[in-house]
Amino acid sequence: MILRSASLSGIALAVTSLLLLSNSLAADRHASARTEVSGQFSLLLPEGWSIYDQSAALGAPGSTGVIIFSASPLNPPGSATADTEALVGVDRGDLPSFIVDRQRAERGMACAKLSKSAIYDIGTQLGRDPALSAMRRQFSYVTPRHEDIVLGGCKGVKFKLEASKGDAQNHVIIDVRAVSDGQVLYLFGLRNLAHNYAKNVGVFDAAMASLQFP
């Protein structure tokens, strides 16, 4: 009996070791890699993700403009510009992805703080999204609901806006994290159909938690 117990214990240990090794290998397959973007910031992206700089693709690289992070390339082989269908997939959230809209920082947009007027201006800009047309009059008087956050060591704000909540096919969620390094205003965001938002927000949250400025 003692020998049998010892044998079973050994088998159990071997199985446990194999399970740990299997989990480790699975984690490696889904590992994230820190990626530097245009010398402006770095973040962790799932292995295999692509970066599409819209301004650079159109021949005007610079510190401003839209960058799209996606699970697969947006531009077809041999083409510098993104495929229209792929961009629709990004906008709807069919393709796992998120974006950052880089804009020149205005007065009141610093790493230490975004001023109330800056937050109002950002909220008003977001309120111009066609999906939010029914709420646009409200945004002209009141800053959309937001919460204070910290991104990359800088103080920013998070906006989460929804439209067509009663229509499952057209329910849109706009989730934007705004932050500035004093030179550039970064609007990191998801604009997804609600059923896609649920599957994409995890990667987005992880990327934002890993954000670092130089």
Domain extents in the chain: 1-30, 34-210
At residue 122, the pLDDT reads 94
Q: What is the dihedral of CA 150, 188, 178, 159, to 10 degrees?
A: -100
Residue 149: CB atoms within 10 A of its CB come to 14
Query: At the top level of CATH, which class does the domain 34-210 belong to?
Result: alpha beta
Looking at residue 128, its pLDDT comes to 82
Q: Give the DSSP per-residue string, 176-194.
A: EEEEE-SSEEEEEEEEEEH
Other Cβ atoms less than 10 A from the Cβ of 115: the count is 13
Pairing mode of beta strands 184-193, 32-37: unpaired
SS3 of 160, please? strand
Q: How many CA atoms lie within 13 A of 26 on its CB side?
A: 6
Answering whether pTM is above 0.75, one says yes
**Positions in the chain whose pLDDT score sits under 50:** 1-29, 134-142
Q: Which two tokens stand for residue 197?
A: 């938002």
Contact between 146 and 179 under an 8 Å Cβ cutoff? The reply is no
State the alpha helices, DSSP H only, in the chain: 2-29, 54-57, 84-92, 116-126, 136-139, 194-210
Q: Name the E strands within 71-171.
A: 97-104, 146-151, 154-163
Averaged confidence pLDDT in the chain = 83
- Return the half-sphere exposure (C-beta side, CA atoms, 13 A cut-off) of residue 59: 1
Predicted pLDDT of residue 109: 98
pLDDT tens-digit readout, 128-144: 877 665 444 444 444 57
User: pLDDT for 142-157, tens place per residue?
Assistant: 457 899 999 999 999 9
d(CA 67, CA 90): 12
